[in-house]
Amino acid sequence: SCRLFINTDGGLGPLAAAAGTTTITVLGPTSPAVTAPYGKKNTAITPGLDCAPCYMYPYESTSPRIKCEAPACMGIIDINKFKEAVRSHLGPGRG
């Protein structure tokens, strides 16, 4: 019954979207085309780096590895872009 579900890359975002809840998914080294919830009312926030997504796609094994040693992409997610996505989903004066 929530109006907005905020999540990182994982199974709960697609589950919430399947239940009809609007989602915002924060992604770093993964591909929004592969892991973000589908649908027009769902938003994926990505770092926008040339190296992202950096998981080896298609999966070469059941344990894909990140190509870089430490995924710096999670530390540079644009918080203003995130806040704007929340505001756009919740409406004026909220978020």
Q: Distance of alpha carbon 46 from its chain centroid, rounded?
A: 6
- Split at pLDDT 50, 70, 90, the class of 20 is very high
Q: With a threshold of 0.85, does the pTM exceed it? A: no
Q: Is pLDDT above 90 for 23?
A: yes
Express each pLDDT in 25-82 by its tens digit.
998 877 788 788 888 889 999 887 777 777 655 555 566 566 666 667 778 888 999 9
Nearest to 27 by CA among 36, 37, 18, 14: 36
Cβ neighbours, 10 Å, residue 85 = 20
Alpha-carbon torsion (65, 67, 68, 74), positive or negative: negative
Q: Distance of alpha carbon 58 from its chain centroid, rounded?
A: 18
Mean pLDDT of 84-89: 92
Cβ neighbours, 10 Å, residue 39 = 13
